[in-house]
Amino acid sequence: MRIERISIKNFGSYFEGPHEISMKDTSGIDGYAIFGQIGRGKTTIIKAVHWGLYGEVMASSIIGGKLHEKPRPYIDYNKQKEGLEAEGGWCLPLVNNNAFRQGFDEMVIEVDFEHEGSNYSLIRIAKPKVKNPKNDKNMGMEISLTMDKRSIEKHRIENTIEKIMPEAISQFFFVEVDNIGAFSELLFSSQNPSIVEQVELILGIPAIDKSEEDFQKKKNQHSRKRKKLMRDANKGKDVATEHATCEAKIEQAKKDIANYREQIDSLNHEIDEIDEKLEDEPTATDLMARKKDCMKNIEDAEIKLKEHFEDRRMLIKNGFWKVLVKKGITNAIERLTVAENRKEDLQKQINLEGIQRTHHNELAVDKGVDCKVCGNKTEGSSPDEMTKAAKKVIELDESIKSKQEEIDSIGRPGKEISGLAKIKTNVSLMAMDEIEFAIGRLETTIFNEITKKKAVEDELRNHDELSIQKMKNDRDTTMKNVGDLEGEEKAAIKILKIEEEKEDKLSTQLENAGTQSLQIKQLKAKIDIYNWLSDCFKKAMNEFKQEARESVQKIATDAFMEMETEPEKYDRIEVGDDWSVKLIEADGNVAPAGNPGTRQTLAVCVFDGLRRTSNLQFPTFFDNPGSNISDEVIQNMAEYFWRDNSSQMVMLSHSGGLKEEETIEKYGEKLSGAWRVVYDSESSSSIIEELLMK
């Protein structure tokens, strides 16, 4: 089956219409993408196709930790007309709100599809039967289906669709994010009857096991009938009377066993409930243990605290004065350093002024020189210059003297600095910091433990040990009752076995007692055939389950390795006999399944394994595959699904998943069509826009 056209009118967020998607022209490629932000109407397209095919759309919600499901109504007068929040508000009506308010004439879904070489055209219409419909009783539904332009009779339409694509397995092809989420949870909880049933349904296992059950049923029916006929044929003979008594005893034993089993199951359920309550209820012993823990923690902390106080005391005793003067030493060193620097500075100035003094002194006495060799003559200082230089010499002498006096007054700070520095480095301030920190931490611990201890003591005061004891007693009594009943059940099973053996012998005697009628002979032949069928089907079942499991495992593993970003970390996906799933790491260990993204990816892979193993060629709509799956894995997933053209694959993605432009750019060649769903506020409707492909 492949869908070629979807047309929507007045359905969900689609007002008026028709709003259409055409998937006719494939050019051998059967990959499609529908983009759109959350809440714009992508999922509505899937719901529309589902309603078109089956006339019903289920809504599901988790309320109080339990999954609730119910069919979505056509209309909800209170909600749509009055704007009231009706009870069960999560179950949205199917008819578009605006259409309903404006008095709509019809809600229409058309689906054209091809199946095994024939072209089908399906039209499903919901219409108001009265002018102002108030509830679904005022609504009517019409359906028409043509196969190669020939109309199919109304009463055969549902059956025809069911044969083409059974509703029971449709969820494996209309894959919504809720399905994936729920499925990924179920996959890891083995022995879940719901998941086992769904998985076996898509694989076609009921064709064998349901049939086998029916064969057994028919065999038993015929067997009872045959025995009755044989008894009737031997009426009055002891063997017939004895056989009738024996069969009555067998019936009674079977009833007793069923009755005991029912009671045992009910009592076991009661025990489970008591266990759950007891698990939630801490016992006085638990509370005492908790109090004891607190006290122990306080005691340990106090011992450590005492040790740290002792350390602090020792530190103070053995040189704590150094700690106290450390700041003063530091200040003194700083001041002495300033003085030392000043001394050095003054000395430099004295040296400079000494040079200047020598120069000015020479000027003050300079009278010129005649050179006796070359005859040149240098001029000496003028009298004014000599006087000026002499004054400068006196000035400099005074300055040098004053600076020298200051140097003398400073003394030898360098020597003092080195003495003080030695004292400073010996002070263990760090150790003191650590001790203070540890003391603070221990004091906090003690405070916390005392608070905890007080809370436990309060709980102990309010604790109802009596009610816990009562629950324990009830549990013991129920356990004893279960034991007694199991004993009774065992005894009934023993009686059944004895009576069945007896009945077997009596049956043989009955058979030999007289000539058998044709009817009895026919029944015997039928019982033999049913026995043979049942045997064949049991054996087929074992083989089929094993092969199907291996196939799902292989396909899912291959898909996972292709989608996963670090496939080398894993070895395989393992599918158990109960269809529970484990991811095995390269080292052979079972990978922890805590990451919701990995769980969802695994679920998608197992979905695909089931889909392909089932060999059912149905279109697959993947709606936001895995909200927790990383971008890279989502892209690998798209690549994986779009590469396979064995069946139609439509991926719907919101802006957080596959990006529109990037996807068209990267996978354009693998897509036969793509659309964008937007909400147009002007027309108050979702709109489907076709995107140009590369």
Partner 1 sequence: MGENNITDTKNIILEWLNKEKAPFEIDSDSKELIADLCVEWQYEKQNREKFEKEIDKIISELAKKQLESSV
User: Which residues make up the interface to partner 1 (CB under 8 A)?
Assistant: 162-163, 166, 168-169, 201, 203-208, 210-211, 214-215, 217-218, 518, 521-523, 525-526, 528-533, 535-537, 539-540, 543-544, 547-548, 550-551, 554-555, 612-615
Nearest approach in angstroms of CB 613 to partner 1 is 5
Q: Which residues pair with 653 in a beta bridge?
A: 35
Q: Six-digit token pair at 660? A: 């529109």
Within 516-568, strands assigned E span: none
Contact 574, 557 (CB under 8 A): no
Give me the least distance between CB of 609 and partner 1, in Å please.
Answer: 10
Query: Please, what is the minimum distance in Å from the beta carbon of residue 127 to partner 1?
Result: 30
| Closest listed residue to residue 377, CA positions, set 366, 385, 369 | 369
Minimum distance between the CB of residue 553 and partner 1, rounded to whole angstroms? 10
Find the shortest distance in angstroms from Cβ 523 to partner 1: 8
**331 CB-contact burial (10 Å; exposed 0-12 / middle 13-18 / buried 19+):** exposed
**Cβ closest to partner 1, residue 473 vs residue 519:** 519
CB of 111 to partner 1, least distance (A): 20
Q: How far is CA 262 from the centre of its chain?
A: 37
Residue in the block written with tokens 């027309």: 683
Tokens of 583: 């991811």
Nearer to partner 1, 212 or 340 (CB): 212
- Please identify, using beta-carbon distances, which residue of 63 and 518 lies nearer to partner 1: 518
Minimum distance, C-beta of residue 94 to partner 1, in the bound complex (Å): 25
∠ CA 58-200-547, nearest 5°, is: 150
Beta bridge partners of 140: 127
Residue 548 beta carbon to partner 1: minimum distance, rounded to whole angstroms: 5
The tokens for 522 are 């026919």
* Phi, psi (rounded to 5 degrees) for 175: -90, 110
Smallest distance, partner 1 to C-beta of residue 293, A: 55
Q: How many helices (H) and strands (E) does the chain have?
A: 18, 18
Which residues share a beta bridge with 53?
A: none
Nearer to partner 1, 175 or 548 (CB): 548
CB-nearer residue toward partner 1: 385 or 578: 578
Q: How far is the CB of 56 from partner 1 (least distance, A)?
A: 16
Q: Which is nearer to partner 1, 205 or 271 (CB)?
A: 205
Question: Residue 495 is which amino acid?
Answer: I
> Residue 659: what residue type?
K
Closer residue to partner 1 in complex, CB, 348/521: 521
Identify which of residues 400 and 548 has a Cβ nearer to partner 1 in the complex: 548
Give the nearer residue to partner 1 in terms of CB position, either 142 or 535: 535
Between 472 and 539, CB nearer to partner 1: 539
Terminal CA-CA length for the chain: 27
SS3 helix, strand, coil % of the chain, rounded to 5?
60, 15, 25
* CB 653 to partner 1: min, Å: 28
Provide the Cα torsion 620, 623, 625, 627; round to 10°: -170
DSSP H/E element including 678: strand 673-680
Per-residue b/e over 575-606, b at no fewer than 16 CB within 10 Å? beeebbbbbeeeeeeebeeeeeebbbbbbbbb
Residue closer to partner 1 (CB basis): 294 or 520: 520
Enter the tokens of residue 502: 């007896």
Burial 281-313 (b: 16+ CB within 10 A, else e): ebeeeebeebbeebeebbeebeebbeebeebbe
Considering beta carbons, is residue 346 or 555 the nearer one to partner 1? 555
Sequence letter at residue 123 = I
Q: Rounded to whole angstroms, how far apart are CA atoms 335 and 420?
A: 12
- Closest distance to partner 1 from the beta carbon of 215 (Å): 8
